[in-house]
Amino acid sequence: MTSTSDRARQLNDTCAGPVDMELFLHYSLIPSLCIILVLSFLQRREHCRQRDDTSYLLGDHFGIIIPLDFVGTFSNRWSYGIAFGATANKVMFLFSEGYQPLQVPQWAQAFVLLVGGIEVGLSHFPFFACLSSEFQLVSSILGFSYSLIWFAVTILHITQCPHGRLLGRFETIMFYWPSLLCLSFLLGRFLHMFVKSLRVRLGWELQTEEKPFLEIHQAKHVKQLLRKPPLQEEKKSWFQTRIYEWDPCFQFPSRMIGTVVLAFICLYLFIVIEFCVFVYVREKLDVLEGEMESYIASVNQTGTLAPVILQVKELMNVSKGVWLVTILPASLTCVSYLFHVLACYRKHMKRLWAGNKHFLPLKFHNPSSSGSVVAIARYSGWQIAYILWGYLIIHVVQSLLGLVIMYSLVLPVIHSQGLEMLHRLGIGILTVAIVLGLVIVQVWIASSFFLQPKMTTADKQKPLALNNRKAFHNFNYFLFFYNVLLGLGACLSRLLISCILGTWLIARIDRTIMQHGYEGADMGFGAWVGMLYVDHCHSNPVLVSFCHILIAGHRERKLQQAIRGGCLSQSAGARISARSRTRWLLLQTLVNNPRLVELRKSKPGHGSQEFTQILLTCSES
């Protein structure tokens, strides 16, 4: 009698779904391009040049539309993040290099993947363009329709083939439920945009203001800088001190929110794919294990290879169990890294705003401008790739550590060899303790006998001045030969610690794992630093506030000039030339600023001297 999963696999083997998601990806470019053309037609071009060709027929239509501002977007952040999450399945499809529409040589695979990335981006472009478009009534209708198409096709694909060959029942649902959840959110978002824009169009609701140049949290940050620091800091809770403290004067840009959301979903899909591969390998190992048992039974456990086969069988069982158990700690490690990346981004940005660059290596204090611009385009994709590869590497390392623990501690107890295991463990711990003790004794002897006493009682340690030099030279000579052997162990421990830390921190793109002086070889860390500098230069609250003051002052001066010009034209009644208006404004300026009269150049024959005397007389009176 077959199991439920076996029946599900048999049903899915005969399943021939009418929807091919890869083929639908190609066909989705047609409505995507149509939506892009409609939004581009509605978008006005700010600077239109007169040309002699037929392009003047387009007028100021067909402006360039952007999916989102990757530098200064702080509104609608979670909508953009969910839109990024809707692309997770296609991103994983590209990550697994499953995009092979053409048979090309191996050296041309990079171009095929580039075309695949452009196609995936173009197919999901309407999600972002409709969210960021100024014409919300039209964009909400187009975005809702396009999201509904993707939602319906995904539902149809799941209902036709819900089961899989590896995980059995509901395998397809496990892969596609994050995309369905994101598409459902986008449907609700576009529906909310449509209702809101319709109410504005009907006059039932006021039009929302344009996107402010200075965000609220940036203004709060500048106000906080201008205030005096409190004499006594507020007491923080354990959660604020050890885990995270919310800052109302800081917001993460949409790029960071989208990167983290997409990284979470891609990490989940990667774990599911890895588990599918594990199930497949486990089935093959079970078949191999059955053949081994049949061989042992045939030789009646007296064959030459019987002990080896038993050890291999035990290794396979232990490896399967360890690999399955370490999925949880490896995934939790990468999830904690994603949250830690956000915390490090806020910490590093605040340090850069304060002018502190000491946390960066010296060669990253002045990165190239072109490299930083490319870095902000690379960062999001590289962060996701680092998390996925980091999870796999961390999982492998944790599995190896699990095997070491199993063979050194657990299996000896199972095989009734616990006393021998404790004996070997005690000898090993004693050996390490003696080595470390000798190292500590050397430090104690050097501090007690070979250093001069403290200058004052307030000094924390003795000065670096030798005492008892003859005894010191003998001490140094006799320990020279022992330290050669001790250095061998220190070298191996250095290699082991470097390997463990390097593999453990491979997913951390916010810090380099290279040695001092070789940080430039870490391309991921270079992308992180370049991204920080671009955000620092374009979203620094102090700089944005200064530009906001300049823009507001310029607008106020233009408004005052327009009001003065309007009052002047109304009082004159007749048509006034630009030259007369300019002279009138000049007269107002000279009357309000009499000192400027003496600095003006006089032109003979124009009565400027008499005019100057009249102004000076009026100003004195």
pLDDT in tens, 86-100: 888 888 877 766 566
One-letter identity of residue 102: L
Q: How far apart are CA 619 and CA 621, in angstroms?
A: 5
pLDDT confidence of residue 361: 86
Q: How far apart are CA 496 and CA 499, in angstroms?
A: 5
CB-based contact 34:141 (threshold 8 Å): no
- Position with higher pLDDT, 274 vs 107: 274
> 328-357, pLDDT tens digit by residue?
999 999 999 999 999 899 999 999 988 888
> 234-248, pLDDT tens digit by residue?
777 767 766 777 788
Q: How far apart are CA 34 and CA 16, in angstroms?
A: 31
Report the percent of the chain where pLDDT is more than 70.
83
- Angle 160-162-163 (CA atoms, 0-180°, nearest 5)? 125
pLDDT confidence of residue 388: 92
- Of 326-335, 364-373, 437-446, which one has max mean pLDDT? 326-335
pLDDT confidence of residue 5: 47
Provide the token pair at 53. 């060709």
Instruction: Please report which confidence band the pLDDT of residue 467 belongs to, taking 50, 70 and 90 as the band edges.
Output: confident
> 541-571, pLDDT tens digit by residue?
888 888 888 888 888 887 777 776 655 555 5
pLDDT at residue 103 above 80? Answer: no
Instruction: Please report which confidence band the pLDDT of residue 11 belongs to, taking 50, 70 and 90 as the band edges.
Output: very low
| DSSP assignment string, 473-533 | HHHHHHHHHHHHHHHHHHHHHHHHHHHHHHHHTTT-TTS--SPTT-GGG-HHHHHHHHHHH
> 156-179, pLDDT tens digit by residue?
888 887 776 666 677 788 888 899
pLDDT confidence of residue 576: 56
pLDDT confidence of residue 121: 86
Provide the token pair at 614. 């009249």
Provide the token pair at 131. 């969210």
pLDDT confidence of residue 49: 54
pLDDT confidence of residue 3: 47
Lowest mean pLDDT among 34-43, 218-227, 233-242, 445-454: 233-242
Please list the residues that pair with 451 across neighbouring strands: 466
Mapped onto helix, strand or coil, the DSSP state of residue 466 is: strand
Lowest mean pLDDT among 209-218, 321-330, 534-543, 544-553: 209-218
Q: How far apart are CA 379 and CA 534, in angstroms?
A: 12
pLDDT confidence of residue 261: 92
Q: How far apart are CA 546 and CA 218, in angstroms?
A: 11
- Position with higher pLDDT, 228 vs 422: 422
pLDDT confidence of residue 167: 66
> Rounded mean pLDDT of 1-23?
55
Instruction: Please report which confidence band the pLDDT of residue 288 belongs to, taking 50, 70 and 90 as the band edges.
Output: confident
CA atoms within 13 A on the CB side of 278: 20
pLDDT at residue 2 above 80? Answer: no
CB-based contact 360:517 (threshold 8 Å): no
pLDDT at residue 302 above 80? Answer: no
pLDDT confidence of residue 602: 62
Q: What's the mean pLDDT when you consider all of the chain? A: 81
Nearest to 544 by CA among 104, 239, 220, 264: 220
Q: How far apart are CA 392 and CA 330, in angstroms?
A: 8
Could you say which DSSP state residue 435 is in? H
Torsion of CA 138, 141, 144, 149, to 10 degrees: -110
CA atoms within 13 A on the CB side of 49: 3
Nearest to 190 by CA among 143, 150, 152, 146: 143
pLDDT at residue 18 above 80? Answer: no
pLDDT at residue 28 above 90? Answer: no
pLDDT at residue 224 above 80? Answer: yes
Residue with tokens 């030279």: 473
- Chain centroid to CA 385: how far? 11
- Position with higher pLDDT, 175 vs 616: 175
Q: Which residues of 568-597 are buried (b: 16+ CB within 10 A; e: fewer)?
A: eeeeeeeeeeeeeeeeeeeeeebeeeeeeb
- Beta-strand runs (E) in 242-362: none
